[in-house]
């Protein structure tokens, strides 16, 4: 039974709030973790970057399993709320006053499991809410992406401040509190999404299946602990995950209906572009944070008048602040363009997004020319993050919408998982790139470290421009694939309408 526009709005609002609180927990932890490893465990920059990269890769890759569990085993809603509980447990472990390295690795293993169960299924609920409503999908996922950034902005501002006043573990406890609020939100508003989900949601719980998932979760947590402690294994896992993405898409292209092939091929091309984007995204937690630590003046001033001071980790909050400012504007723009039949294709938005990212990194690079004693003005971070965030909205913010638009609903959970695997691969690659600004042994002054970062940012700017050029060259192919996908969808809908009316028609072949 199709939901009414009112029920669509209520269902979306529920998932929006759950996602917002879950991201509050995750990004509060993410803002601190690299600095936590350097401060409490004496990690070098390189070790901290690569450990974070491996962890982030597993965090983003694990939803490929969680999406399948939600689609086929436990149900989308059930899997999402179980994942929320596991995430709360992981943040609680970090909040405990236990600073043994193995305890930290165990905490990260639990977080990987929880995120795997939660992430793809929350996005899949939005996909199912707007199933068949292609005109609203881009707008819905842009607003949904804003939920991510409301939560992350609040936590990225709060947790560094709490860390400065009450210590690391108190800040991680706040992350756990965010997850508990997400779970409370789910149970209070459950009726609005009770009709949304995958087929297993409508069935009684199969306890044997649940036990199997629990055993698999324990194995995954143990594997995460092992991978985080062995760099060579982490690298091998990244290569294996990259090969798995291609195999997954190849398998789906073989098994899909002929009319579905153009959409899946378009999704593959766009997913490969997303892999490049997340190399830039990973800099926020690595090179940009360390740049803020060593080479950014933390004092915000206007015309020589001091305004306020931020701690190092709080600069990451500029990303969600800009996302919150820009998301509603883009959502309104997408809706108006769709109403006037002048919608810009996802592929074209990707190309524009890469240009914005390039200009953002050029701003970071050029800031070094105006440094005083190796310190650049905090306003350069504001401007760079603004363009970087606009690019993120146009690429990463539409990544899930791209899957929703081009992938059949019966494959959506699994394919969203494959999309997250792709972003996981690029998370690790991004940490490797961040180490091009690796500090040599011994302490460097701000003047000495500045050129290392500005050179890295200049190179990233040129790499983003290359990504924009490739996206532009692919536009003609993407237009053909998108048109073939739309024609195939129209043919399927015409056939279904004729079948409902009791008329037999010959299906139209897609070009």
- 87-101 pLDDT, tens digit each: 999 999 999 988 899
- Which helix (H) or strand (E) covers residue 482, if one does? helix 475-500
- Which helix (H) or strand (E) covers residue 18, if one does? helix 5-41
Query: pLDDT band at residue 36, thresholds of 50, 70 and 90?
Result: very high
Rounded to the nearest 5°, which phi and psi values hold at 307?
-110, -60
Burial per residue of 244-257, b for 16 or more beta-carbon CB atoms within 10 angstroms, e otherwise:
bbeebbeebeeebe
Whether 366 contacts 445, CB under 8 Å: no
Q: How far is CA 164 from CA 96, 310, 358, in A?
A: 17, 11, 33
- 214-234 pLDDT, tens digit each: 999 999 999 999 999 988 888
Of the listed ranges 5-19, 225-239, 251-265, 481-495, the least confidently predicted one is 481-495
Could you give the CA distance from residue 76 to residue 388 in angstroms, rounded to a whole number? 32
- 157-181 pLDDT, tens digit each: 999 999 999 999 999 999 999 999 9
Query: pLDDT band at residue 5, thresholds of 50, 70 and 90?
Result: very low
Contacts 24+ apart (CB under 8 A), 471-478: 471/273, 471/347, 471/350, 471/351, 471/354, 472/351, 474/269, 474/347, 475/345, 475/347, 475/348, 475/351, 477/269, 478/266, 478/269, 478/270, 478/345, 478/346, 478/347
What pLDDT does 348 receive?
A: 84
Q: How far is CA 104 from CA 57, 174, 225, in A?
A: 17, 17, 9
What tokens were used for 257? 């209906």
Could you give the CA distance from residue 212 to residue 345 in angstroms, rounded to a whole number? 42
Could you give the CA distance from residue 469 to residue 152 in angstroms, rounded to a whole number? 31
Could you give the CA distance from residue 390 to residue 393 in angstroms, rounded to a whole number? 5
First and final C-alpha spacing in the chain: 31
- 286-342 pLDDT, tens digit each: 999 999 999 999 999 888 888 899 999 999 999 989 988 888 888 788 778 877 777
5-473 maps to CATH 1.20.140.10: no
Q: How far is CA 455 from CA 48, 427, 434, 461, in A?
A: 21, 21, 11, 10
- 61-97 pLDDT, tens digit each: 888 788 788 888 898 899 999 999 999 999 999 999 8
The pTM (predicted TM-score) of the whole model is 0.80
SS (H, E, C) 100-140: CHHHHHHHHHHHHHHHHHHHHHHHHHHHHHCCCCHHHHHHH
What pLDDT does 508 receive?
A: 39
- 378-404 pLDDT, tens digit each: 999 999 999 999 998 888 766 666 666
Measuring CA to CA, which residue among 328, 314, 37 is closest to residue 159?
314
Report which of residues 127 and 429 the model is more confident about.
429
Measuring CA to CA, which residue among 439, 423, 429, 425 is closest to residue 460?
429
Cα dihedral: 304, 308, 314, 315 (round 10): -10
What pLDDT does 136 receive?
A: 66
What tokens were used for 195? 């009709």
């Amino acid at each position: 039974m199709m939901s009414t526009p009112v029920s669509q709005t209520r269902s979306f609002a529920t998932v929006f709030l759950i996602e917002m609180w879950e991201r509050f927990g995750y990004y509060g932890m993410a803002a601190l973790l690299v600095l936590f490893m350097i401060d409490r465990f004496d990690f070098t920059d390189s070790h901290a970057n690569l450990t974070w990269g491996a962890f982030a890769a597993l965090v983003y890759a694990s939803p490929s399993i969680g999406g399948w569990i939600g689609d086929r085993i436990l149900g989308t809603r059930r899997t999402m709320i179980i994942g929320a509980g596991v995430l709360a447990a992981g943040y609680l472990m970090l909040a405990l006053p236990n600073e043994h390295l193995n305890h930290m690795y165990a905490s990260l293993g639990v977080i990987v499991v929880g995120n795997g169960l939660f992430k793809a299924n929350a996005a899949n609920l939005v996909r199912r809410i707007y199933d068949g409503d292609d005109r609203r999908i881009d707008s819905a996922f842009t607003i949904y992406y804003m939920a991510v950034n409301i939560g992350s902005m609040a936590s990225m501002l709060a947790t560094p401040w709490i860390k400065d006043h009450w210590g690391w573990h108190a800040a991680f406890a706040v992350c756990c509190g965010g997850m508990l609020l997400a779970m409370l939100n789910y149970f209070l508003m459950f009726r609005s999404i009770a009709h949304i989900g995958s087929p297993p949601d409508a069935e009684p719980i199969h306890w044997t299946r649940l036990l199997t998932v629990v055993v698999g979760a324990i194995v995954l947590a143990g594997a995460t602990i092992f991978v985080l402690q062995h760099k060579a294994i982490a690298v091998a896992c990244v290569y294996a995950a990259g090969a798995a993405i291609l195999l997954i898409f190849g398998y789906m292209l073989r098994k899909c209906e002929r009319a579905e092939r153009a959409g899946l091929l378009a999704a593959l091309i766009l997913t490969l572009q997303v892999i490049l984007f997340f190399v830039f995204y990973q800099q926020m937690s690595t090179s940009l944070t360390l740049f803020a630590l060593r080479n950014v003046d933390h004092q915000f001033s206007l015309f020589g008048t001091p305004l306020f001071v931020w701690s190092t980790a709080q600069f990451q909050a500029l990303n969600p602040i800009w996302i919150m400012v820009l998301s509603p504007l883009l959502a309104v723009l997408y809706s108006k363009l769709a109403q006037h039949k002048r919608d810009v294709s996802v592929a074209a938005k990707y190309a524009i997004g890469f240009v914005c990212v390039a200009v953002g990194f050029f701003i970071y690079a050029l800031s070094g020319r105006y440094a005083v004693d190796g310190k650049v003005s905090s306003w350069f971070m504001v401007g760079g993050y603004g363009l970087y965030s606009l690019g993120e909205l146009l690429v990463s913010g539409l990544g899930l919408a791209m899957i929703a638009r081009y992938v059949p609903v019966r494959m959506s959970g699994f394919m969203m998982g494959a999309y997250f695997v792709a972003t996981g691969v690029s998370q690790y690659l991004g940490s490797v790139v961040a180490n091009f600004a690796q500090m040599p042994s011994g302490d460097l002054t701000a003047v000495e470290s500045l050129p290392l970062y500005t050179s890295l940012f200049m190179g990233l700017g040129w790499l983003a421009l290359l990504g924009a050029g490739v996206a532009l060259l692919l536009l003609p192919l993407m237009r053909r694939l998108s048109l073939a996908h739309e024609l195939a969808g129209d043919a399927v809908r015409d056939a279904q309408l004729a079948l409902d009316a009791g008329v037999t028609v010959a299906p139209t072949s897609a070009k």
